[in-house]
Amino acid sequence: MRTRLLWALGALAALAAVTYAGWAWHYAVHYVSTDDAYVEGTITPVSAKVSGHVAALLVGDNQPVKQGELLLRIDPRDYQARVAQARAAVSMAEANLKAARSELPLAREETRAAIDQARATLEGAVVAVRASESAVDEARARLESRRAAAAAMRADVTGAQSAQRQAGRELERLRQLLQSELVARRDFDAAEAVYETTSATVEATERRLAQSEREIQQAQAELASRAHAVDQAKQRVAEARAALARAESQLHRRGDRAATRPGRARDPAGAGGARLPRPRRGSGQAARRRGARGAGARREPAPPGGDQGRGGDAGGGATA
Would you state the pLDDT for residue 257? 58
Q: For residue 216, what pLDDT is reported? A: 86
pLDDT at 157: 86
pLDDT, position 81:
92
Q: What percent of the chain is modeled with pLDDT above 70?
A: 79
Range of 135's domain? 94-259
Query: pLDDT band for position 258 (50/70/90)?
Result: low
Minimum mean pLDDT among 54-63, 187-196, 282-291: which range? 282-291
Residue 236: inside a domain: yes
So what's the pLDDT on residue 208? Answer: 85
Residue 276, pLDDT above cutoff 60: no
Summarize pLDDT for 173-194 with one digit per residue, the tens: 888 887 877 778 888 888 889 8
Asked whether residue 303 carries a pLDDT value surpassing 80, the answer given is: no
- Considering only residues 222 and 40, tell me which one the structure prediction assigns the higher pLDDT: 222
Question: pLDDT at position 94, please?
Answer: 92
Give me the CATH number covering residue 147: 1.10.287
- Is the pLDDT at 85 greater than 90, yes or no? yes
Average pLDDT in the chain: 75
Q: Please check whether residue 320 is in contact with residue 297, taking contact to mean a CB–CB distance below 8 angstroms.
A: yes
Q: Determine whether 53 is exposed, middle or buried from the number of CB atoms within 10 Å of its CB (0-12, 13-18, 19+).
A: exposed
Using one digit for the tens of pLDDT, what is the confidence trace for 114-173? 888 888 888 888 888 888 888 888 888 888 888 888 888 888 888 888 888 888 888 888
Of the pLDDT bands very low, low, confident and very high (cuts 50, 70, 90), residue 274 is very low
Q: Is the dihedral of CA 112, 117, 123, 129 positive or negative?
A: negative
What pTM was computed for the model?
A: 0.39
pLDDT number for residue 320 = 46
Does 158 reside within a domain? yes
Given pLDDT bands bounded at 50, 70 and 90, which one contains residue 99? Answer: confident
- Give pLDDT tens digits for 232-257: 888 888 888 888 888 788 777 766 65
For residue 206, pLDDT over 70 is answered with yes
Tell whether 264 is covered by a domain.
no
Looking at the domain assignment, is residue 266 inside a domain?
Answer: no
Instruction: Report pLDDT for 295.
Output: 35
111 in any annotated domain: yes
Does 297 reside within a domain?
no
Supply the pLDDT for residue 192: 85
Share of the chain above pLDDT 90, in %: 5
* 267 belongs to a structural domain: no
In a domain, 68, yes or no: no
pLDDT greater than 60 at residue 214: yes
Mean pLDDT throughout 63-67? 85
How many structural domains does the chain have? 1
